[in-house]
């Protein structure tokens, strides 16, 4: 193979691999809930994320178990497409939080948290559907 052919093959391989990256599906919260109410396993690495309530009044909670149990329930929340905005309580302090949900067909649900308190800048990846309602 000549010297010009090798870089061309490398470039082609890079382009093919870049095209294989899975793009997220920006499903709305009602669409995610229709797939499953419970996501994840409730472990430190794969927390449980639950979307509960009826289609007009949803709620959400996040929980996991490691050396103890951690539970966070959202209050004063709103939903817009794939984003949940609300507040959660830790001890007696209330924090604001925004959660962006992105679903990948191959790897599952990713949650990106931004806001205040211990959940600020948390990223959870690869949650799979749990037991449907």
Q: Tell me: the pLDDT tens digits for 108-130?
A: 999 999 999 988 988 989 989 87
pLDDT class for 56, splitting at 50, 70, 90?
Answer: low
**Unique residue bearing structure tokens 């396993």:** 41
pTM of the full structure: 0.73
Show the domains of the chain with their CATH numbers: 23-127 (2.40.128)
Residue 77's contacts (CB-CB under 8 Å, 6 or more residues apart) are 58, 59, 60, 84, 85, 86, 87
Q: Percentage of the chain with pLDDT > 70?
A: 71
C-alpha distances out from residue 48 to 39, 57, 62, 126, Å? 5, 20, 6, 11
Greater confidence (45 vs 133) lies with 45
Q: Parallel, antiparallel, or unpaired for β 83-90 and 93-104? A: antiparallel
Q: Helical H runs in the chain?
A: 5-19, 29-35
Q: Percentage of the chain with pLDDT > 90?
A: 12
pLDDT class for 17, splitting at 50, 70, 90?
Answer: very low
Q: Is the pLDDT of residue 96 over 90?
A: yes
pLDDT per residue over 57-87, tens digit each? 656 777 765 555 577 777 777 778 888 888 8
Q: Parallel, antiparallel, or unpaired for β 108-115 and 38-39? A: unpaired
């Amino acid at each position: 193979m000549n010297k010009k052919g090798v870089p061309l093959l490398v470039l082609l391989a890079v382009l093919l691999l870049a095209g294989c990256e899975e793009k997220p599906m920006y499903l709305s919260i009602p669409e995610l809930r229709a797939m499953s109410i419970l996501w994840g396993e409730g472990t430190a690495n794969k927390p449980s994320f639950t979307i509960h309530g009826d289609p007009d009044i949803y709620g959400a909670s996040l929980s996991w178990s490691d050396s103890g149990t951690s539970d966070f329930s959202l209050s004063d929340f709103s939903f817009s497409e794939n984003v949940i905005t609300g507040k959660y309580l830790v001890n007696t302090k209330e924090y604001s939080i925004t959660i962006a949900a992105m679903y990948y067909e191959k790897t599952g649900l990713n949650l990106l948290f931004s806001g205040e308190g211990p959940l600020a800048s948390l990223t959870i990846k690869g949650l799979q559907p749990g037991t449907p309602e």
